[in-house]
Amino acid sequence: MSNQLSQTSVLFVCLGNICRSPLADGILTHLVNQRGLADQFHIDSCGTGAWHVGNPPDPRSVLVASKHGIDLTDLRARQFDADSDPSNFDLIIPMDAANHRDLIKQGTPKDKVRLMRSFDPTLTGKTPDVPDPYYGGDDGFDKVFEMLMRACEGMLDTI
């Protein structure tokens, strides 16, 4: 199901594809590039909703990524495609329980769907959701970045 025999394909999913999922996309892309594994991964992101299709990531996501040497400027929001995405990706990673439910309702095989923070080695007894920072203050984006960084590192160690 991977795009190439040796590739692992990962799709990050949030609600609008402008905050959390493009940030996760950028972080994992950055990490695989740092580790010399870029040719082993196909990474993308999308949203369950269509409100922001075609738009760049939220400026606050771009800013927090940039502070850590990660460039999100080439990313554009797209909506999850229930017809093709489940067959095109090995792992479909929702940011929260609501996105997880939406993916399953749309027919995504349960064995492909895993919550983002399930890869976070520091998560013990805490909520597994990556909170949506859209309506909060700028510090919410810093906290989300830290969560996503830990989870992406954990994901790479697991895969």
Catalytic residue status for 14: yes
Cα–Cα distances in angstroms (integers) from residue 110 to residues 22, 93, 107, in the given order: 22, 11, 8
Of the residues 14, 19, 46, 152, only one is catalytic, namely 14
The string of DSSP codes covering 57-74 is: PPHHHHHHHHHTT---TT
Identify the active-site residue in 117, 120, 132, 152.
132
Rounded distance, CA 124 to CA 133, Å?
A: 22
The secondary structure of 23-65 as a DSSP string is HHHHHHHHHHHHTT-GGGEEEEEEESS-TTTTPPPPHHHHHHH
**Residue 81 annotated among the catalytic residues of the structure:** no
20 belongs to the catalytic site: yes
What is the Cα–Cα distance from 71 to 125, expressed in whole angstroms? 33
Identify the active-site residue in 20, 60, 78, 117: 20
Q: What is the set of active-site residues? A: 14, 20, 132
